[in-house]
Amino acid sequence: GNSVTQMEGPVTLSEEAFLTINCTYTATGYPSLFWYVQYPGEGLQLLLKATKADDKGSNKGFEATYRKETTSFHLEKGSVQVSDSAVYFCALSPPGNQFYFGTGTSLTVIP
Amino acid sequence: DGGITQSPKYLFRKEGQNVTLSCEQNLNHDAMYWYRQDPGQGLRLIYYSQIVNDFQKGDIAEGYSVSREKKESFPLTVTSAQKNPTAFYLCASSIVGGNEQFFGPGTRLTVL
């Protein structure tokens, strides 16, 4: 079946620290992989995506690489800011449209 | 601007009442989805629709109903049969076969 497992939070970092949020998946076929971000009281926004193995998605200083051999899509950022405080969701979508989301990881960045 | 709107942002209802949440999109997407979000549980799919007048149950459809009479609209009714309806509800849309879902701002439903 299809599922996503992501690192449990909450995660608290100081400003300018390095961020890694782990995400692993199980999937049938060849899914696309996504990271979405949710700010307090809002809907989800697409942060980045990768559609095939070895692709790297990147946006706003965040990066994630589609690793088929380890079935992973870890989110990284070299230097976090207070404005990055949010909940981050890893998701996969096999061909056919349905999405499967992880449980979310809450990130708080303190000045 | 194209996007998805959900209304209202906050909704309060008494136990035993049905309530309908609105979702409208002007992105010309054929597919629309309803998710429920509870703390620490991520998003769970309630219903989805890939074409007008057709929809399928998701993982937690019990106690909910939907309609899809227009491409732009996909309202969700939370019925009195839903045992624990207090949650944050998110609507999303996508092109069929596309690989990105676009989300609305959500409706927080509180049943008193």
Question: What is the tens place of the pLDDT at every residue in A54-75?
Answer: 999 999 999 999 999 999 999 9
- The CA distance from A38 to B110, in Å, is 20
CB within 8 A of B48, min separation 6: which ones?
A97, A98, B31, B32, B33, B34, B55, B56, B58
Task: Determine phi and psi for B74, rounding to 5 degrees.
Answer: -145, 75
Q: Closest partner residue to B99 among A45, A89, A93, by Cβ?
A: A93
Q: Return per-residue pLDDT of chain B as tens, 112 residues.
A: 679 999 999 999 998 899 999 999 999 999 999 999 998 778 999 999 999 999 999 999 999 999 999 999 999 999 988 889 999 999 999 988 777 899 999 999 999 8
With 80 as the cut, is the pLDDT of residue A43 above it?
Answer: yes
Phi-psi region of A89 (alpha: psi -120 to 50; beta: other; left: phi over 0): beta
Angle A76-A7-B107 from CA coordinates, rounded to 5°: 95
Question: What is the tens place of the pLDDT at every residue in A88-110?
Answer: 999 999 877 688 999 999 999 99
Find chain A residues with C-beta within 8 A of B100's C-beta. 34, 46, 49
pLDDT of residue A97: 64
Question: What is the tens place of the pLDDT at every residue in A6-17?
Answer: 988 899 999 999
Q: What single-letter amino acid sits at B39?
A: P
Q: Please indicate whether, in this complex, the C-beta atoms of B94 and A42 are within 8 angstroms of each other.
A: no
Which residues of A, range 22-41, sit inside 8 Å of B by Cβ?
32, 34, 36, 41
With 90 as the cut, is the pLDDT of residue A81 above it?
Answer: yes
Longest distance between any two alpha carbons in chain A, whole Å: 43
- The CA distance from A6 to A8, in Å, is 6
pLDDT of residue B97: 75
Q: Please indicate whether, in this complex, the C-beta atoms of B43 and A93 are within 8 angstroms of each other.
A: no
pLDDT of residue B1: 63
Q: Does A101 touch chain B (CB under 8 A)?
A: yes
**Residue-averaged pLDDT of chain A:** 94
Which residue out of A21, A97, A100, A103 would a mutagenesis test of the B interface target, given it has the greatest number of B Cβ atoms within 10 Å?
A: A97
Q: Please indicate whether, in this complex, the C-beta atoms of A99 and B42 are within 8 angstroms of each other.
A: no
pLDDT of residue A95: 79
Residues A12 and A110: beta-carbon distance below 8 Å: yes
pLDDT of residue B78: 95
Q: Does A59 touch chain B (CB under 8 A)?
A: no
Which residues of B, range 1-20, sit inside 8 Å of A by Cβ?
4, 6
Residues B59 and B112: beta-carbon distance below 8 Å: no
CB within 8 A of B34, min separation 6: which ones?
B23, B45, B46, B47, B48, B58, B64, B66, B74, B76, B89, B90, B91, B92
Tell me how close the Cα of B68 comes to any Cα of chain A, in angstroms: 18
Residues A75 and A90: beta-carbon distance below 8 Å: yes
- The CA distance from A109 to A10, in Å, is 11
Residues A64 and A57: beta-carbon distance below 8 Å: yes
